[in-house]
């Protein structure tokens, strides 16, 4: 018995905003996108070697602390990791949707925030120069 692909929540919300029709998502592919992919030994759970001195020096030259450096994290430099507090019930629903609906939490949050920003004039106002300078020191790609 095979499940029928269905559009994800994030894709549906974006489609509602942009008018582009969503494509179906296979739930198995959404939950386990890397299933069957063979990774090199250093990514497959084998113990990682310590970062090289060149990597550490590069991080120090960029005035980054170890927690802010990206050499050992699996994120793109254009993405910012942040956290916030959610109500327990909201977090539970988010996890339920991710688990049973085959949704990606990052896509859900991105779509929800983008939809929330629509019509909010404050969201499109430029930041004051001092605030922007502080953010650009930490995130130069802004």
Over residues 100-119, the pLDDT tens digits come to 888 889 889 999 999 999 98
Q: Is the pLDDT of residue 7 over 80?
A: no
Give buried/exposed letters for 11-32 (b at 16+ CB in 10 A, else e). bebbeeeeeeebeebebeebbe
Over residues 66-99, the pLDDT tens digits come to 555 545 555 566 788 888 898 999 999 999 988 9
Q: In the predicted model, what is the mean pLDDT of residues 28-33?
A: 70
Give SS3 for 16: helix
Q: In the predicted model, what is the mean pLDDT of residues 50-72?
A: 49
Q: Which two tokens stand for residue 111?
A: 């779509």
Longest dimension (CA), the chain: 58
Residue 69, exposed/middle/buried by CB under 10 A (0-12, 13-18, 19+)? middle
Q: In the predicted model, what is the mean pLDDT of residues 27-33?
A: 70
């Amino acid at each position: 018995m095979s499940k029928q692909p269905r559009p994800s929540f994030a894709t549906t919300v974006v489609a509602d905003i942009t008018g582009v029709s969503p494509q179906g998502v296979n739930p198995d592919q959404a939950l386990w996108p890397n299933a069957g992919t063979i990774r090199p030994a250093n990514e497959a759970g084998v113990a990682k070697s310590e970062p090289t001195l060149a990597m550490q020096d590069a991080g120090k030259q960029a005035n980054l602390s170890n927690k802010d450096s990206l050499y050992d994290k699996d994120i793109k430099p254009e993405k910012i990791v942040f956290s916030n507090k959610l109500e327990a019930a909201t977090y539970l629903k988010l996890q339920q949707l991710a688990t049973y609906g085959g949704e990606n939490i990052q896509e859900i949050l991105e779509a929800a925030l983008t939809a929330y920003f629509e019509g909010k004039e404050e969201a499109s106002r430029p930041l004051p120069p001092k605030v922007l300078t502080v953010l650009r020191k930490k995130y130069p790609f802004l």
